[in-house]
Amino acid sequence: MKKSIFLFVVFAIFVQALSNAQTKEFTIAYSGTYPNYDYVTNSTNWSWYDELNVNLWQGWGIGEAGYHGFILDSLYSHNISGYFQPDTLMQFALGKVIVHQVESNTADSFRYMHHSLGKDTTETFQGETVTARYFDISMIPPNERGISVAVLKGVKENAVHSFSGLVLDPKKQWRWEANGYQKDNRWYIKPRMRIDSSDAYGTAKNVIKIVVRSFDGEIVYERDISTDRFLGQNGYNGRFLEDFLPNGVSVPANSTDTGINRGFPPGLDHRDKYEYFDSCKVDFEIHWYKDVSVWIDYVKVMDEPAYLLYHPDQFIRRRLETLLKRS
């Protein structure tokens, strides 16, 4: 899988669902932002907005659904037609996903730099061809088994979790709150891997340990993934998985002792202080226990808006699927 980092743009898939609830005239080809409040005249300046003929209005920091009907009525009263895109949708349209490839023969920008054990392997399994890093238990002496060792570390482009070229701070997620419209973000770690189906049954054994290092290089999170975590309601047939806990594996994005940006320079502007990039030691290490063979395809890291949108057990994902089925 050859992906790096991208922003989710979900506006288009909501258009059909929104059209069932908003019946104003739809004019093709233009979009715009809800007029800003003019503090000089102490009013909203609507001059020339009716000449724009926009079809999609975007809300910025105006709150939740209770205000949207009022906004549509205000637009219509000034002879402005179109649809309104509420803040609720925007919360989940700015999600970030970073995919760190683990094979050593990749030139991807987002990849692991060091490999202590294992080998690259390409296989077609259950109709899917995957190039992964294979860690073979048969190559490990009996006296070394069960002892974890870091086999994947030193992620390249790690500063993306602390710095950003966007206006939004990666330590925060865009979300309307009573006291502002940014709240603390979280990063979810999802290693895509598989084991032999026979290893998933019987006595549970540790497969890997996820170790997260913060901006200053300190360990802020550790979590074991054991063989029983591969079992689902229908058992396990050796397929690749990337979700192993009901609520995911995640760390705060803030600068607390448990946050990924612990040690981030106080007052640093994340948008233009690029000289600090090399000082970022954020890492998502994978430690292998050398007790069970494992194939690792990649390690995906996503922030909270992306997780809420794409995780199958999350409300926003279920709600979106329901809306699309009705349209």
Report the pLDDT value the prediction gives residue 2, as an integer from 0 to 100.
43
Report the pLDDT value the prediction gives residue 150, as an integer from 0 to 100.
95
C-alpha distances (whole Å) from 298 to each of 51, 112, 250, 269 are: 50, 9, 16, 31
Report the pLDDT value the prediction gives residue 10, as an integer from 0 to 100.
37
Report the pLDDT value the prediction gives residue 239, as an integer from 0 to 100.
93
CATH code that applies to domain 101-304: 2.60.120
Q: Which amino acid is at 124?
A: T
Identify the H or E element spanning 210: strand 206-213
Task: Return d(Cα 131, Cα 106) in angstroms, integer.
Answer: 10
Q: Which stretches of the chain score pLDDT less than 50?
A: 1-31, 65, 327
Q: Where in the chain is the domain with CATH 2.60.120?
A: 101-304
C-alpha distances (whole Å) from 66 to each of 88, 128, 137, 176, 316 are: 11, 46, 58, 13, 18
Question: Considering the entire predicted model, what is its pTM?
Answer: 0.74
